[in-house]
Amino acid sequence: MSAGDIPIEVQAQDEASETTGRPLSGKTAWARNLETPLRDFLQTQSGSAAVLLAGTIAALVWVNVDASSYERVWNTILSIRISDTGITMGLREWVNSGLMTIFFFVVGLEARREFDLGELRDRRRLTLPVLAGLGGMIVPVAIFLAINGSDASRGGWGAAMSTDTAFALGMLAIVGRRFPDSLRAFILTVAVVDDFVALIVIAVAFTTSIDAVALAVAVGAFAVMLLGRLGRVHNGLVYALLGVTAWVAMQRSGIDPVVVGLVMGLLTIAYPASRSDLEEATDLFRVFREQPTPELAQSARAGLRSAISPNERYQQLFHPISAYVIVPLFALANAGIVINGSFLSHAYRTPITLGIIIAYLVGKPIGITGATALVTRLSGGRIRPPVGWGSVIVSAYSWPAAMVRPS
């Protein structure tokens, strides 16, 4: 919404009220017609799918032409230090644990917007994707363990549990452009559940040592964020500092710090612009129009900004960066697999590889679709998928495509 549109919209609302004789609802026309909260997210996601694919192809070509240079670049050590304290990681780790935190922040933002404004405003609809996400994790693990009965290979079950969300959403954007937004919201929630539970399981089952002090600092930072949200504190700089603190503490604790982005996104509320906020922004703009000074321009910008929820503002800022820069870099850093005869011969004869492939290709779709059908049946049809079963099955098969990244 531009600054010049505000008086027109408010005036249009007043005229509509006078014409119809109905009282104003207190919501803008945009809010009353908000039927597809995923509109901007999906448009950007679809547009970035080609960039993601290009990054994947570039990684495969690069590593198969010159594997040594590929590994040398992504294993380059990068340190950020202040005095004697700092963080040292390889370039690939900075992408996976650093930049991908922003990706998960955007995913958390969109999930929260669905929770506040979209399909998940009816909390009963949350049950289905949550249980479908759990089913999409339990069934693949069961299949992997059934194939890998020996103790030597059984420990790899974590690789069959979680799907790479960046690749999964990218494939969904490619194959599911005609899917309704309600189904996309369902898949997005499954992705959040998949990642959140996987991060918890990995932290508990696969992290050998956890720094309790660092973990306590991260939890404390999250608690302060939550208190700030409850106290309606909207200063982005405060949350950025808390987020950096939580990220560093989580990284020091031994747990993957990308969970910081997901939690921060889920804590960022979304709400439609209220009539009072729009009126205040209109007044500020009117004063600026009568006396255009830098001080009044700053005041008008602040008024316009406060009328839009933090969720919407951060999505507009970070989603294009995440979709067009971070995710392609992630693909370039992780999709490099040397493909030759010996690799294929060895890989596809080992129980671990076969277990992961079958878990993804068979277990994920069966787990997601089966859990959805079970919930629908047990609820007597009161809780059911937002579209037909054919679309649910097709969407469930967007997840196996995410196995392109080696675990």
Give the range among 36-45, 112-121, 247-256 with minimum mean pLDDT. 36-45
Per the listing, tokens 């917007």 go with 113
Q: How far is CA 214 from CA 81, 247, 251, 324, in A?
A: 17, 10, 8, 33
Location of each CATH 1.20.1530.10 domain in the chain: 35-207+255-267+311-404
CA distance 9 to 11: 5
| In the predicted structure, residue 14 carries a pLDDT above the cut 70 | no
Instruction: Give the confidence band of 261 by pLDDT, cuts at 50, 70, 90.
Output: very high
User: Residue 314, exposed/middle/buried by CB under 10 A (0-12, 13-18, 19+)?
Assistant: buried
> What's the pLDDT tens digit per position in 96-111?
999 999 988 988 898 8
Domain 35-207+255-267+311-404 fold is: Na+/H+ antiporter like fold (1.20.1530)
DSSP, collapsed to helix, strand or coil, labels residue 86 as strand
- Residue 123's pLDDT is what? 73
- Residue 214's pLDDT is what? 92
Q: Which amino acid is at 385?
A: P
CB count in 10 Å sphere of residue 262: 23
Per the listing, tokens 């900004």 go with 305
> What's the pLDDT tens digit per position in 154-188?
777 777 776 666 666 666 665 555 566 666 677 77
User: Which H helix or E strand runs over 332?
Assistant: helix 327-334
Give the range among 198-202, 215-219, 246-250, 368-372 with minimum mean pLDDT. 198-202
- Residue 18's pLDDT is what? 44
Could you give the percent of the chain with pLDDT greater than 90? 17
What is the maximum alpha-carbon separation in the chain? 78
Write down the pTM of the prediction: 0.76
- Residue 47's pLDDT is what? 59
CB count in 10 Å sphere of residue 24: 10
- Residue 58's pLDDT is what? 93
Per the listing, tokens 């990220």 go with 247
Contacting residues for 276 by C-beta, under 8 A, at least 6 apart: none
- Residue 21's pLDDT is what? 45
Helices (DSSP H) in 206-326: which residue ranges? 212-230, 236-253, 258-267, 275-290, 294-307, 310-321
Instruction: Give the confidence band of 13 by pLDDT, cuts at 50, 70, 90.
Output: very low
Give the range among 25-39, 81-95, 284-298 with minimum mean pLDDT. 25-39
CA distance 176 to 395: 7
What is the residue-averaged pLDDT of the chain? 77
CA distance 116 to 129: 16
| In the predicted structure, residue 27 carries a pLDDT above the cut 50 | no
Q: How far is CA 165 from CA 6, 77, 138, 386, in A?
A: 38, 26, 17, 21
Q: Are 166 and 194 in contact (CB under 8 A)?
A: no
- Residue 175's pLDDT is what? 56
CA distance 338 to 359: 23
Instruction: Give the confidence band of 2 by pLDDT, cuts at 50, 70, 90.
Output: very low
Q: Are 122 and 382 in contact (CB under 8 A)?
A: no
Q: Are 228 and 239 in contact (CB under 8 A)?
A: yes
CA 94 to chain centre: 18
Question: Angle 189-194-200 (CA atoms, 0-180°, nearest 5)?
Answer: 125
- Among residues 273, 307, 271, the alpha carbon closest in space to that of 27 is found at 273
Instruction: Give the residue, 315 or 154, on which the prediction is more confident.
Output: 315
| In the predicted structure, residue 289 carries a pLDDT above the cut 50 | yes
| In the predicted structure, residue 402 carries a pLDDT above the cut 80 | no
